[in-house]
A and B are shown apart, each in its own frame.
Chain A
Amino acid sequence: DGGITQSPKYLFRKEGQNVTLSCEQNLNHDAMYWYRQDPGQGLRLIYYSQIVNDFQKGDIAEGYSVSREKKESFPLTVTSAQKNPTAFYLCASSIGTNLFSLHFGNGTRLTVT
C-alpha cells in the first residue's frame, strides 16, 4: 500500500540534543511538508520541498533543518536552538506543486526534557 511512514512514533530526548525525525513516502509525490502541531492548535508549517535538493522555510523554521536528497525522503532535524521542541510533528506530501490535497503520515510525538 502506498503511504507516508513516519518514525519513530514516540521520541524522547534530553534538552540540548539534536534529533532527527524520519519521513518516507512511496506515493511518488514531488512535494513534501513538515508541520508542527501543539495541543489544541492547528498545524504550522516548518519546511516544505517541491523537488529533490530544494526546500523552503515555512512559518516557523527557526531551530529546524531539513534535507531532500531523495524524492522519497524528507527528514527533519530538531536542533538544540529550537526553544520549545516538544510537540507532535506531521509529515505530508502532495502530488505536485499545484496543490490538491495532502497525504499525511501518522506523526511523531517528540518530548524533550
Chain B
Amino acid sequence: SQQGEEDPQALSIQEGENATMNCSYKTSINNLQWYRQNSGRGLVHLILIRSNEREKHSGRLRVTLDTSKKSSSLLITASRAADTASYFCATDALAGGGADGLTFGKGTHLIIQP
C-alpha cells in the first residue's frame, strides 16, 4: 500500500520563484525522505528528515516534518529550470525498521518556466 501522498500532483512556476510540495502519510515512521526523478531516469536522494526532527536544510532545499499531522513539506527556493522534475516523498514504517524498503507517494511533477 502507498504510504505517502504528495500534493499538488503538478506545479508550474516561473524561474526564480519558490516551489512548495507537500506530503501526507498514514502510519508512524522512522524517517521521511525526498527524492527527485528526471524524466526516464532513476530517483536521486535529496534529503532525509528523522521523526524527531522538525526542520532540515540542504542548499536551496528546506524540509519540514509534522509528525502530529503526519505531513511533510519540501520547499525549493529560487527555482531554476534545471529543477524541473518529479519529486517523491518516501517513508519507512516504524514497525518495519526500514529493512523492508521505502514506501513512495505518487509524486509532484514540478515544471519551472524559464
Partners in one complex: yes
Q: Please report A residues at the B interface, Cβ cutoff 8 Å.
A: 4, 6, 31, 33, 35, 40-45, 48, 50, 56, 58-59, 88, 90, 92, 97-107, 109
Distance of A109 Cα from B107 Cα, bound (Å): 19
- Contact between chains at B98 and A97 (CB < 8 Å): yes
- Contact between chains at A107 and B42 (CB < 8 Å): yes
Residue B45 CB within 8 A of the other chain: yes
Please name the 10 residue pairs, one residue from A and one from B, whose CB atoms are nearest each other, closest first. Answer: A99-B98, A104-B42, A97-B99, A42-B104, A101-B45, A43-B104, A42-B106, A104-B43, A106-B42, A45-B101
How many B residues touch A, CB cutoff 8 Å? 27
- Contact between chains at A56 and B41 (CB < 8 Å): no
Q: Taking A40-B106, A43-B88, A107-B41 as contacts, is the C-beta distance between A100 and B48 under 8 angstroms?
A: yes
Within 8 A of A (CB), among B3-57: 4, 30, 33, 35, 40-45, 48
- Contact between chains at B107 and A42 (CB < 8 Å): yes
For the residues of B in contact with A, the DSSP-based class is loop
For B105, the closest partner residue in chain A by CB is A42
A sample of 8 inter-chain contacts (CB < 8 A) reads: A42-B106, A43-B43, A45-B102, A88-B40, A92-B42, A92-B43, A99-B97, A99-B102
Apart from A44-B2, A59-B1, what are 7 other A-B pairs with CB-CB below 8 Å? Answer: A43-B43, A45-B102, A90-B42, A92-B42, A99-B92, A106-B42, A109-B40
- Contact between chains at B101 and A33 (CB < 8 Å): yes
For the residues of A in contact with B, the DSSP-based class is strand
Task: Select one of A42, A44, A59 contacting B88, CB under 8 A.
Answer: A42
CB distance from A59 to the nearest CB of B (A): 7
- Contact between chains at B97 and A98 (CB < 8 Å): yes
Distance of A99 Cα from B32 Cα, bound (Å): 11
What residues of chain A lie closer than 8 Å to B33, measured between beta carbons?
A: 101
- Contact between chains at A103 and B100 (CB < 8 Å): no
